[in-house]
Amino acid sequence: MENNLLENNSVILIGKVSNEKKFSHEIYGEKFYTFDLSVPRLSGSADEIPVTISERLFKDDDLKVNKSLKVTGQFRSYNSYEGEKNKLVLTVFAKDVEFLGDEEIVASKDLVSNQIILEGYICKPPIYRQTPFGREITDMLLAVNRAYNKSDYLPCICWGRNARFCSKLEVGSEVKIVGRVQSRTYEKKYEDGKVEQKVAYEVSISNLEVISENSNQEKENNEDTDAESKVSTEQLDTEKVETENNAE
Mean per-residue pLDDT of the chain:
84
> Would you say residue 230 has pLDDT above 60?
no
> Would you say residue 129 has pLDDT above 90?
yes
120, 175 contact by CB (below 8 A)? yes
List phi, psi (to 5°) of 216. Answer: -65, -35
Q: Which residues does 44 contact at the CB level (< 8 Å), separation at least 6?
A: none
**The pLDDT of residue 97:** 97
List phi, psi (to 5°) of 5. Answer: -70, -30
**The pLDDT of residue 83:** 66
In the chain, which segments carry CATH 2.40.50.140? 2-114, 116-239
Helices first, then strands: H and E counts in the chain? 3, 12
Q: How far apart are CA 37 and CA 16, in angstroms?
A: 5
Q: Which CATH number fits domain 2-114: 2.40.50.140, 2.102.10.10, 2.20.25.10, 1.20.1070.10?
A: 2.40.50.140
Q: How far apart are CA 150 and CA 214, in angstroms?
A: 20
Q: Which of 241, 169, 165 is nearest to 207 (CA)?
A: 165
221, 112 contact by CB (below 8 A)? no
Query: Region 34-51: what's the mean pLDDT?
Result: 95
**Class (C level, CATH) for 116-239:** mainly beta
Relative to beta strand 174-189, strand 114-122 is antiparallel
Residue with the bigger pLDDT between 84 and 8: it is 8
> Would you say residue 244 has pLDDT above 50?
no
**The pLDDT of residue 238:** 34
DSSP alpha helices (H): ranges in 138-215? 160-166
Sign, CA dihedral 238-241-242-248, equals: negative
Query: Region 194-200: what's the mean pLDDT?
Result: 88
Query: Region 85-102: what's the mean pLDDT?
Result: 91
Query: Region 28-52: what's the mean pLDDT?
Result: 95
> Global pTM?
0.82
